[in-house]
C-alpha cells in the first residue's frame, strides 16, 4: 500500500512519506506484518516488524541477534548457544550481557529513533498503516492482493519468543521512564537501551 502522509506542522525535522505493510499469512503468528518506511522521499528503512504484544500491536525496529566469539576457535555463535557451532566447545548459554535489572540482552536494533517524540510519531503512523492494511484484507477477502516485497518475501515469518519478550520488556521500560521526570532523555544513551 502506498500511504502518502501529510506533513504535520509540529515535526518539521522528520517526515514519513510512505509506509508499506506486508501482512504475514498465519493469524496465530505473533509477527503480524513487515513494513518499510520512507523518510522524506529519500531514505528507506525496511524490515520493521509489527508484533502483537500483550498490550496491542507494537513496532519493532530492524534488528540482529547478538553474537560472540568462541574462546577456542573464534567462530561466531549466538549468545544462547551452549556449544560452539564450529568446534563444539561447551559455552555458557547464560553469558549474554545483562541490563541494570539483570535481564539478558540478545538483540540489537540496527536503525531506530533516538528520541521519544520520533518514536511515538513513527509508532502511530505505522500502527495506523497496519490497521488499514488489515482492514483492507478483511474487507476484500479473496480479492485482497497482498503486497509483494520481493526479496523480503524470502525472510522467515518466525520471530523467536526471546525476542518478543525482550521487546515487550523494553516497551515497559520506556513507559516506566516516561512517567518519571527524567523520562525525556529516554533512548539517547545507546541503541541497546533504546
Ligand atoms: Zn569454537
> What's the pLDDT score for residue 181?
59
CA of 86 to the centre of ligand 1 (A): 5
CA of 98 to the centre of ligand 1 (A): 23
Beta bridge partners of 77: 68
CA of 77 to the centre of ligand 1 (A): 8
DSSP 8: P
> What's the pLDDT score for residue 1?
46
> Residue-wise over 78-90: b if at least 16 C-beta within 10 A, else e?
ebbbeebeeeeee
Structural domains of the chain ordered from first start: 16-66+105-185 (3.30.1120.40)
CA of 67 to the centre of ligand 1 (A): 13
For residues 72 and 52, is the Cβ–Cβ distance under 8 A? no
pLDDT tier, 50 (very low <50, low <70, confident <90, very high otherwise): very high
d(CA 8, CA 25): 33
CA of 78 to the centre of ligand 1 (A): 12
Q: What is the pLDDT of residues 5-44, one digit of tens each?
A: 444 444 447 789 999 999 987 777 889 999 999 999 999 9
Averaged over 124-150, what is the pLDDT?
88
**Rg of the chain on CA atoms, in Å:** 19
Element (H, E) at 118: helix 116-140
Taking CA atoms, 118 is separated from 42, 51, 72, 125, in Å, by: 17, 19, 43, 11
The answer on pLDDT for 154 being more than 70 is no
> In this structure, what C-alpha cell is assigned to residue 10?
509540529
Within 41-168, strands assigned E span 43-53, 56-60, 63-65, 67-69, 76-78, 107-109
pLDDT tier, 68 (very low <50, low <70, confident <90, very high otherwise): very high
The answer on pLDDT for 89 being more than 90 is yes
The answer on pLDDT for 185 being more than 50 is no
Averaged over 64-82, what is the pLDDT?
92
CA of 108 to the centre of ligand 1 (A): 23
CA of 73 to the centre of ligand 1 (A): 4
CA of 132 to the centre of ligand 1 (A): 48
d(CA 193, CA 172): 12
CA of 64 to the centre of ligand 1 (A): 21
CA of 83 to the centre of ligand 1 (A): 8
CA of 65 to the centre of ligand 1 (A): 18
DSSP 147: -
Averaged over 104-127, what is the pLDDT?
90
The answer on pLDDT for 136 being more than 60 is yes
Amino acid at each position: 500500500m502506498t500511504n502518502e502522509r501529510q506533513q504535520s506542522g509540529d515535526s518539521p525535522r522528520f517526515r514519513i512519506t510512505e509506509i508499506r505493510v506486508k501482512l504475514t499469512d498465519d493469524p496465530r503468528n505473533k509477527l503480524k506484518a513487515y513494513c518499510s518506511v520512507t523518510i522524506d522521499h529519500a531514505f528507506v528503512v525496511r524490515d520493521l516488524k509489527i508484533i502483537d504484544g500483550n498490550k496491542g500491536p507494537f513496532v519493532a525496529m530492524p534488528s540482529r541477534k547478538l553474537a560472540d566469539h568462541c574462546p577456542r576457535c573464534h567462530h561466531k555463535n549466538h549468545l544462547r548457544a551452549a556449544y560452539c557451532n564450529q568446534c563444539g566447545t561447551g559455552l555458557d548459554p547464560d553469558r549474554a550481557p545483562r541490563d541494570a535489572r539483570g535481564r539478558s540482552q540478545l538483540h540489537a536494533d540496527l536503525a531506530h529513533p533516538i528520541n521519544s517524540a520520533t518514536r511515538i510519531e513513527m509508532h502511530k503512523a505505522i500502527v495506523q498503516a497496519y490497521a488499514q492494511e488489515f482492514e483492507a484484507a478483511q474487507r476484500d477477502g479473496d480479492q485482497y492482493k497482498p503486497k509483494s516485497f520481493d526479496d523480503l518475501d524470502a525472510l522467515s515469518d518466525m520471530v523467536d519468543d526471546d525476542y518478543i519478550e525482550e521487546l515487550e520488556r523494553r516497551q515497559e521500560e520506556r513507559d516506566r521512564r516516561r512517567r518519571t521526570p527524567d523520562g525525556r532523555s529516554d533512548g539517547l544513551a545507546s541503541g541497546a537501551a533504546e
